[in-house]
Amino acid sequence: MDINKQKIELWIYSNLELVHLLKLMVLVVSTFIGAKLLEIPHGSWISGTCLVLNRPVVELGGVINRVSQRVSGTIFGAGMSLITLFWFPDNLLIHSLALGVAFPLFSIFIFKSNKYAYQVAILTMLIVLSIGDGWSYEAAYWRSINIAVGGVISVIFIFLLPIHAKKEWRFELSKCLLLISNLYEETLKGDQEDRQKLFEDNTDIITSVRKQRKIFPFVVKESSHFKSHKNEMEDVALRLRKLSGILELLASSVFHSDKGNHLITQLSSIHDKKEIIQSHLHKMSDELLHGYKVTENTEKLVWRSSKLELLKLNEQNLHQEAPLSPYSYIWLNNKFGEEVMKLEENLYILF
């Protein structure tokens, strides 16, 4: 990948909210000016539709479904309103009954699997029926047309300046792996002064995993490769959560007990493998960040927990309580390393 292009992409996906805000500003303002210059009746609905459809960060593939729901909901809502107004103009009782009937009609039958479309249909009926006779037909017609136009413009805009879910996931996953590596290193240091920051970092890891899960549906829509490997994607999220859980348990033990802090900072069986485990975390993070293929792991970790070391430590701490035994600390570190290696296998398949 070209270095300059890579830097631009890194900045974009690291500042996604800001970039999206600027894109949305340009889209809404330009459609507003265009509607005014062309004197389109009810033209503000074009800008309004673009704003609603692109309000959250929209990944490529996500906007089309939302556009179709909004347009279909508007058409059905406007159509039912026009029929009601044609047969029963200025009849509050019938208008109220029509709204009441519309709820089960749209939510249960017409838009059973598209709840957003049903809400748009009801909202459209409320707007059209409340305008008043004489303006309702024209308003329903133009608003339906303008919402459809706004939907088309949104789709074109998304394809011109796309946010690729796959790239978004790569950058988020890369950042998450670095957070895990840093938290792992700081936990093994056992620095009591940093414990509040470490617990905050663990919260950031959990937040990142949740964000990645939200991106998954859009990744699957963009790529048939990922669609056929949805299980591996879920495994990645699961392993990240396991790594976070192990670190949370270790950190809780270390920072709530001086004895636990002493043990984890002295166990050579843990620190011997720290650099190896971290090297794998950093390798995966760098490969994801720079768009390289994740290389296959050929290294096998051999756990040589010294029985003499454990027996000696147990004897030394026989009369002093610690949250976990020396064996438990070593076992948790081993599980952490194993999960890192399994995660690398998943990423090799996916990327």
pLDDT-based confidence at residue 231 (cuts at 50, 70, 90): very high
- How far apart are alpha carbons 90 and 133 in whole angstroms? 7
Q: Please answer whether residues 49 and 150 qualify as being in contact, where contact means their C-beta atoms are separated by less than 8 angstroms.
A: yes
Model confidence at 210: pLDDT above 60: yes
Rounded mean pLDDT, 124-148: 72
Rounded mean pLDDT, 102-112: 89
pLDDT digits (tens, 9 = 90+) for 27-86: 999 999 999 999 998 888 899 888 877 776 666 556 667 677 877 888 888 888 888 888
Q: Please answer whether residues 176 and 240 qualify as being in contact, where contact means their C-beta atoms are separated by less than 8 angstroms.
A: yes
pLDDT digits (tens, 9 = 90+) for 5-30: 777 887 888 788 888 888 889 999 99
The confidence score (pLDDT) of residue 314 equals 61
Q: Alpha-carbon torsion 316, 321, 322, 328, what sign?
A: positive
Q: Between 311 and 134, name the one with better pLDDT.
A: 311
Q: Alpha-carbon torsion 269, 274, 275, 277, what sign?
A: positive
Model confidence at 341: pLDDT above 70: yes
Model confidence at 332: pLDDT above 90: no
Average pLDDT, the chain: 81
Closest CA to 240 of 187, 301, 172: 172
